[in-house]
Amino acid sequence: MKNLFTIVFFFVLSTLYAQDKKIFDRLQAIDNNGLTFYEIDGINISSQTLNYKFTDRKLKKVYRKYSIKKKDKKTPDSNLKYNNYYVSNTTLINKKLTQYSSYYFLENKNKRTTIIQFGSFNKKNREFERKIVNLIMEGKIPKRCYNSLVINEINFAGRKIKLGSNCKWQNVNNVQCPYNGQMNWSVHKDLKDAKNTVEQQFEIIKLKKRGKIISEEIVKIEFEGTETKAKKIIYDFTGITSVLASTSGGKTLTIYYVATKVRDNYVSCVLSFWNNDTITKNGLAPLLEEVMKLKK
């Protein structure tokens, strides 16, 4: 019986480790002076600890900071071992897009308040959220998941790509290199989730009022060595007042939407460049050429 217990115990441990490893292979993070941002499966996550005791009086100040209204339902989550309150908001954007926001207000081991926030489109998984909450609260996310604020290289779905110091993070897994292009990506648990994410990002730009799509087509590409297809659009800012357009000096933005398998990962990626960016003889900005090629 003792031997059987030992075997079962180590089987459970190895299973949990394998599950965590799969999460850590997809999870990326950036810490910015105590405010930490995470990205996984197209889900944006943030965590922050405030120097407030976990009391009703102090929590009112925390709620205001996170724009939580008095009418928002604050419910303890009994599946978490920490004192906590959970708040959830759902916003129907259109028939194709629903935005979900989750907030976990938790008492940490120092008796202070930690806030973990989730933002996603068209999907919500409480068990997954609890898993991430526990990993953050217990400090179990490995260093390899964290990126430096100053970009020397990026971890693109398991491949290190060296970039110049001129490139800047716009968010986790979202890098912009002036006059050389921009791309944002996410690593997913399966291809269906990756495809859904690029479709959601396409729907989001269709809703924007600052410009218009003037062309749309499906093109053949090679993405990280894999032959696949991408949706290519040209977004026109001509005649539109836009801080983004006026800053870049560009008039049109060429955007590629890709979802495919990369090595042992499933990746969604949106890549773009302005008409006045550096464009190589192959028709792409230099950053985009780091991961893709156009096929004839």
Residue at 114: amino acid letter: T
| Element (DSSP H or E) covering residue 293 | strand 292-294
pLDDT at residue 245, rounded to an integer: 52
DSSP 149: S
What tokens appear for 284 in the block?
Answer: 């792409």
Give residue 7's pLDDT band: very low, low, confident or very high (50, 70, 90): very low
Check pLDDT > 80 for residue 241. no
What tokens appear for 245 in the block?
Answer: 């357009």
Do residue 63 and residue 153 come from a single domain? no
Residue 176, domain CATH: 3.40.1000
User: H-type helices in 66-217, by residue range?
Assistant: 126-137, 191-207
Give residue 250's pLDDT band: very low, low, confident or very high (50, 70, 90): confident
Sheet containing 226-236, strands listed edge to edge, beginning at the edge strand earlier in sequence: 168-171, 174-177, 181-188, 265-274, 252-262, 226-236, 212-223, 292-294
Do residue 161 and residue 260 come from a single domain? yes
User: H-type helices in 75-221, by residue range?
Assistant: 126-137, 191-207
Do residue 170 and residue 290 come from a single domain? yes
Specify the length of the chain in residues.
296
Q: What is the pTM of this model?
A: 0.88
Do residue 177 and residue 129 come from a single domain? no
Question: What would the pLDDT profile of 89-104 be if each residue is shown by its tens digit?
Answer: 999 999 999 999 999 9
Do residue 9 and residue 126 come from a single domain? yes
pLDDT at residue 239, rounded to an integer: 63
Check pLDDT > 80 for residue 4. no
pLDDT at residue 13, rounded to an integer: 37
Residue 55, domain CATH: 2.60.120
Residues 81-87 have a mean pLDDT of 97
pLDDT at residue 164, rounded to an integer: 78
Residue 248 CA to residue 236 CA, distance in Å, equals 13
pLDDT at residue 236, rounded to an integer: 92
Do residue 177 and residue 235 come from a single domain? yes
- Whether the CB-CB separation of 222 and 291 falls below 8 Å is answered with no
Do residue 186 and residue 67 come from a single domain? no
Question: What would the pLDDT profile of 31-46 be if each residue is shown by its tens digit?
Answer: 999 999 999 999 999 9
Choose one of 113, 145, 177: the last residue of a domain. Answer: 145
Burial class (CB in 10 A: 0-12, 13-18, 19+), 197: buried
Do residue 134 and residue 156 come from a single domain? no
Residue 258 CA to residue 220 CA, distance in Å, equals 11
Check pLDDT > 60 for residue 18. no
Do residue 124 and residue 73 come from a single domain? yes
The vertex-207 CA angle with 248 and 116, nearest 5°, equals 85
Domain count, the chain: 2
Choose one of 145, 165, 187: the last residue of a domain. Answer: 145
Give residue 165's pLDDT band: very low, low, confident or very high (50, 70, 90): confident
pLDDT at residue 73, rounded to an integer: 96
Mean pLDDT of the chain: 90
Check pLDDT > 80 for residue 249. no
Check pLDDT > 50 for residue 8. no
pLDDT at residue 15, rounded to an integer: 40
Do residue 60 and residue 74 come from a single domain? yes
Q: Which of 293, 226, 292, 294 is nearest to 264 (CA)?
A: 226
Give residue 16's pLDDT band: very low, low, confident or very high (50, 70, 90): very low
Residue 198 CA to residue 20 CA, distance in Å, equals 25
Residue 286 has phi, psi (to 5 degrees) of -55, -40
pLDDT at residue 251, rounded to an integer: 87
Do residue 39 and residue 86 come from a single domain? yes
Burial class (CB in 10 A: 0-12, 13-18, 19+), 200: buried
Choose one of 106, 130, 145: the last residue of a domain. Answer: 145
Give residue 195's pLDDT band: very low, low, confident or very high (50, 70, 90): very high
Q: What percent of the chain shows pLDDT beyond 70?
A: 89
Q: Which structural domain range is residue 29 located in?
A: 2-145
Do residue 232 and residue 104 come from a single domain? no
